[in-house]
Structure 1
Amino acid sequence: MHILSLFSLAAIASVASALSGCGKPIPRYFPAPGQSKTLPLPGTDRTYRIHIPANYNVNNRTAVYFSFSGAGRNATEQEGLSQFSNPQFNPDGIAIYPQTQNGVWLSNPKANTSYPNDLDYTNHLLDYLEENLCVDTGRIYANGKSNGGGFTNVIACNATVGSRFAAFSIVSGAFHNAVNVPGVGFCEPAPRKGGYPFLFFHGTVDQTAPINGNASAGILPVIDILEQWAHFNGCGLDSLWTSNVTTFAHPLVKHVSWACDGRNGIVQFYREGNNGHCWPCTRPNDDYISLGLSKCPMGHYVFNATDYIFDFYSQYRLDV
């Protein structure tokens, strides 16, 4: 019986190895290390953009960072905006920029909810990456801007897909009230030991996804989503953000940090005074240039969100 058990474990290990991309050469159609490329996702009608770090080693399990674009924007634009492929911020990880199906993500009311929807696509893309590259399944992270941020929230709320990501970050999130969207309208994350680390950024003069919401457009206040994740992470009566505001080096910025169930800073929020629907960056990026001073009145911002995102991610890994 003992020998049979050892044989069974060896067989399981052999199957697991066959499904892993570790030890295998990079598929020839993937970009070379240090490069980016837009590719079709086999078995679907979808595409995605991938950046493999210059120091990628087929024998070393590598972190993966997803970044979802805003509505009407594409994967290439999100790569430039987020700077997730920039070794200054991400020297060692694989960066993934998924492409929308029809210009928007769940939970936007215009998103295609039929099977396979965006959640199915994300799950399939994860499977594909893990089969073809040496992926550290304990260090997979999700980020999104605007509607992509709203979809990042949808991912975390989904017990199947959300349970595969170690931590989440959202910039200028557009959180649509999606109670009537099948499989999306209710937040039911899978219980897990480490909780759901979340980092949020939002400008006080955001006209596209107002920080206090827009009832007529079905956009929820950011504070509702923050307190939701503080609650899911076990903050209980301390889920309200008003008791958690801390000081920040710049007077325009308010930093809110929750300590839930003994986990300090598991939910954090940077409230960006005078910033609009713009990815915070100390130099003018595509948001500040394309949206202009009417929507991004400062022309740049007082910190780089991407710096903070990768620092936040570095503190969390998923127990798998």
Structure 2
Amino acid sequence: MGQYLLLYCASVLALAAFSTAVIPSSGCGKVIPLGIVPGQTTPFQIAATADQPVRHYNVWIPADFQNDRPHAVVFSFHGHNGDMAKQEDLSQFSQSELLINHSGIIAVYPQGILGTDKESAWQGAPYSAAGVDDILFVKTMISTLEDMFCVDSSRIYAAGKSNGGGFVNLLACTPSIAAKIAAFATVSAAFYTTTFNGDCPTNRALPILDFHGTNDTVAQYNGGHSHGATEVSVDTFRLGWVSRNGCQGGPAISYLPTETDPEQLVEIQTWNTNCLADSIVVGYKITKGDHAWPRTTLPKKCNGVVSTHDCTTTVFDATPSVIIPFFNKYTL
């Protein structure tokens, strides 16, 4: 009896501590709908409305998922001409060992709509489809997930590559949706002046993490002209968030351990001095880096062949070693 009493007391204490650190959603305690299998990816659909098309997204839940325990949600947005399945393979968020607040994450891979060039895209790019409200799409996904699963509503995060990274910045620059997202990560992002030209209203300081290679010819590190529009430089993007977050002074510069990066090709720039509300801006400048998600192995789509862009490797895996630990530090 004493042993059971100790276990019971320990459980109560753990739940008490747990409850003060999370915002459980309305889905907590509900039965997981039929067809959704822990450890697998499930397709979801949002019906068309009078002014919006049908939308699609994939959702992965960890193998040990329990719908009475709040889980963080991580959105991963694909790039121009990408798709949700390839983004899942590329960004590697569907791994049960990835933990935020000691629980596995719910990984979400949305699908963009075909734009003016008949390739998938996200709102804000010069080639995105007119009238498609991707911000509303994200809001709808969040409310659907919160109602179906046990979501920790204080721990919802957004990451994206290329055009998807530019869209993540648009989310951060839109207060109504930024209020629902705890931290943001952009990878090889394309920041077009059509949506990012210094006009970025914010209601709070935000944690921002950015990765970019100096050899990126698609979204150039120093900015440029692409698809009939201007892209701002990576430095302009980072310093814009430094200013909005009220951070003081220049960045602290650090590097990966020499055993990981013997040539010191990855420069880590961190602005965290006197930032508002414990916010931060962190930038990974990857010398010789391509238009790619930083990882040490090739995505499946490369079929084991090294070429360009996503079919290149670098000295670290961004998702497990940097992005998830970064997200884990921040909550609403």
Report TM bin, short chain: 0.7 to 0.9
Tell me what 1:27 maps to: 33
SS of residue in 2 equivalent to 1:126: helix
Using structure 1 for the length normalisation, give the TM-score: 0.83
Q: For residues 42-99 of structure 1, what are the alpha-carbon distances to aligned partners after superposition, in whole Å with 9 as ceiling and x for unaligned? A: 4551010000111211111111010000010100100000110022435711000011
Tell me what 1:69 maps to: 78
Q: Note the aligned Cα RMSD (angstroms).
A: 2.6
Query: Bigger CA drift: 275-284 or 257-266?
Result: 257-266
- Alignment partner for residue 253 of structure 2, among 223, 242, 245? 245
Query: Any conservation in 2 of the 1:176–1:220 contact (CA below 8 Å)?
Result: yes
Aligned pairs for 1:39-188 (under 5 A) are 39-42=44-47, 45-90=54-99, 92-102=104-114, 103-114=120-131, 117-179=133-195, 186-188=199-201
Please tell me whether residue 277 in structure 1 is matched to residue 294 in structure 2: no
2:191 maps to amino acid: F
2:29 maps to amino acid: G
CA distance in structure 2 between the aligned counterparts of 1:71 and 1:147, rounded to whole angstroms: 5
CA positional deviation for 1:35: 0.8
Query: Any conservation in 2 of the 1:143–1:168 contact (CA below 8 Å)?
Result: yes
Q: For residues 186-226 of structure 1, what are the alpha-carbon distances to aligned partners after superposition, in whole Å with 9 as ceiling and x for unaligned? A: 311223xxx31111111110011011111364111111111
Tell me what 1:229 maps to: 241
1:173 maps to amino acid: A
What's the % identity of the aligned pairs? Answer: 35
Q: Structure 1's 287 and 170: CA in aligned 2 closer, same or farther, altered over 3 A?
A: farther
Displaced runs of 4 or more, over 4 A: 262-265, 286-292, 294-297
CA distance in structure 2 between the aligned counterparts of 1:26 and 1:113, rounded to whole angstroms: 36
CA positional deviation for 1:161: 0.6
Q: Structure 1's 42 and 129: CA in aligned 2 closer, same or farther, altered over 3 A?
A: farther
Q: For residues 152-182 of structure 1, what are the alpha-carbon distances to aligned partners after superposition, in whole Å with 9 as ceiling and x for unaligned? A: 0000000101110000111111111115x9x
Q: Structure 1's 279 and 83: CA in aligned 2 closer, same or farther, altered over 3 A?
A: same
SS of residue in 1 equivalent to 2:157: strand
SS of residue in 2 equivalent to 1:136: strand
CA positional deviation for 1:131: 1.2
1:234 maps to amino acid: G
Query: Any conservation in 2 of the 1:105–1:151 contact (CA below 8 Å)?
Result: yes
Q: For residues 244-272 of structure 1, what are the alpha-carbon distances to aligned partners after superposition, in whole Å with 9 as ceiling and x for unaligned? A: 33343231111100114257772101111
SS of residue in 2 equivalent to 1:215: strand
SS of residue in 1 equivalent to 2:283: strand
Q: Structure 1's 185 and 110: CA in aligned 2 closer, same or farther, altered over 3 A?
A: farther
1:53 maps to amino acid: P
Query: Any conservation in 2 of the 1:34–1:55 contact (CA below 8 Å)?
Result: yes
Tell me what 2:325 maps to: 311
Query: Any conservation in 2 of the 1:69–1:75 contact (CA below 8 Å)?
Result: yes
CA distance in structure 2 between the aligned counterparts of 1:285 and 1:121, rounded to whole angstroms: 27
CA distance in structure 1 between the aligned counterparts of 2:327 and 2:171, rounded to whole angstroms: 17
CA positional deviation for 1:290: 9.1
Tell me what 1:201 maps to: 211
Q: Structure 1's 107 and 286: CA in aligned 2 closer, same or farther, altered over 3 A?
A: farther
Q: For residues 12-35 of structure 1, what are the alpha-carbon distances to aligned partners after superposition, in whole Å with 9 as ceiling and x for unaligned? A: xxxxx9x71111111224x21111
Q: Where does the alignment leave 5 or more consecutive residues of structure 2 unmatched?
A: 1-22, 115-119
Query: Any conservation in 1 of the 2:206–2:279 contact (CA below 8 Å)?
Result: no
Q: Structure 1's 169 and 38: CA in aligned 2 closer, same or farther, altered over 3 A?
A: same
Query: Any conservation in 2 of the 1:61–1:136 contact (CA below 8 Å)?
Result: yes
Aligned pairs for 1:288-303 (under 5 A) are 292-295=306-309, 299-303=312-316
CA distance in structure 2 between the aligned counterparts of 1:61 and 1:253, rounded to whole angstroms: 35
Alignment length (residue pairs): 289
SS of residue in 1 equivalent to 2:85: helix
Aligned pairs for 1:261-272 (under 5 A) are 261=274, 266-272=280-286
CA distance in structure 1 between the aligned counterparts of 2:301 and 2:214, rounded to whole angstroms: 16
1:201 maps to amino acid: F
Query: Bigger CA drift: 96-105 or 211-220?
Result: 211-220
